[in-house]
């Protein structure tokens, strides 16, 4: 599901005019852009490009044509709101050999990066989600994915991360990164995802 940022500024005029609203569509941190429709009884405008803006001067006016708003104007109108936005979550993937709860050596190198993200953000919200591929039965995969997640949690705790800030879940063979049918070995699905908010 895509998320996007819509900034809205409402200007009230003391002289008795109705409110003026400006809508600006900003891209996600990864650069993707969704779309929104600004409408009222007098018309509508669709915005689907980064930094597009639409203004509605009053309840009696239709939305203006969409235009690209310059970065300088966006900062002027929304700078304070943009500055206090939380950083987007940091996501890390650690991969595992088949039937193993020990990460592959190249994935173990992610631990220092995870710890750095936790420290940098002062994070108190860390998710650790264990997964397997679709080999084996459901009960085994559920147990294995939990062992994987708990192993990563134990590593973080060894480095001083408070367990009360960590939530650990087991997905078993559900929610694969690469969809497959049962009994297919897919290394990218044998993973733990760590999300640091």
Q: What is the pLDDT of residue 7?
A: 62
Q: What is the pLDDT of residue 85?
A: 86
Q: What is the pLDDT of residue 51?
A: 95
CA nearest neighbour of 168 among 137, 138, 126, 133: 126
Q: What is the pLDDT of residue 20?
A: 86
Axis-axis angle for helices 138-158, 110-121 (nearest 10): 60
DSSP 96: B
Domains of the chain plus CATH, in order, are: 5-83 (no CATH), 90-196 (3.30.1330.60)
Which residues does residue 132 pair with via DSSP β-bridges, in sequence order?
none
pLDDT tens track of the chain, all 197 residues? 344 566 665 544 444 445 689 999 999 877 899 999 999 999 999 999 999 999 999 889 999 999 999 999 999 999 998 899 888 899 999 999 999 999 999 999 999 999 999 999 999 999 999 999 999 999 999 999 999 999 999 999 999 999 999 999 999 999 999 999 999 999 999 999 999 99
Q: What is the pLDDT of residue 12?
A: 43
Q: What is the pLDDT of residue 5?
A: 60
Q: What is the pLDDT of residue 103?
A: 96
Beta strands in 27-179 (DSSP E): 36-40, 43-47, 52-56, 67-68, 90-95, 126-130, 166-170
Q: What is the pLDDT of residue 100?
A: 97
Q: What is the pLDDT of residue 9?
A: 56
């Amino acid at each position: 599901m895509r998320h996007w940022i819509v900034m809205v500024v409402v200007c009230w005029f003391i002289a008795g005019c109705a409110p003026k609203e400006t809508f600006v569509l900003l891209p996600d941190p990864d650069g993707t852009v969704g779309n929104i429709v600004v409408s009222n009884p007098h018309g509508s405008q669709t915005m689907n490009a980064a930094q597009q803006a639409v203004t509605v001067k009053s309840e009696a006016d239709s939305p203006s044509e969409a235009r690209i708003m310059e970065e300088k104007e966006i900062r002027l109108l929304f700078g304070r709101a943009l500055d206090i936005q939380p950083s987007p979550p940091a996501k890390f993937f650690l991969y595992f050999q088949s039937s193993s709860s020990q990460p592959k050596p190249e994935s173990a190198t992610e631990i220092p990066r995870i710890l750095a993200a936790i420290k940098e953000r002062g994070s108190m919200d860390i998710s650790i989600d264990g997964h397997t591929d679709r080999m084996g039965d459901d009960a085994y995969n559920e147990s294995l994915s939990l062992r994987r997640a708990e192993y990563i949690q134990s590593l973080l705790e060894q480095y001083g991360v408070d367990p009360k800030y960590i939530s650990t879940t087991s997905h078993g063979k559900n929610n694969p990164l690469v969809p497959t049918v049962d009994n297919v070995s897919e290394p990218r699905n044998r993973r733990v995802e760590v999300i640091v908010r």
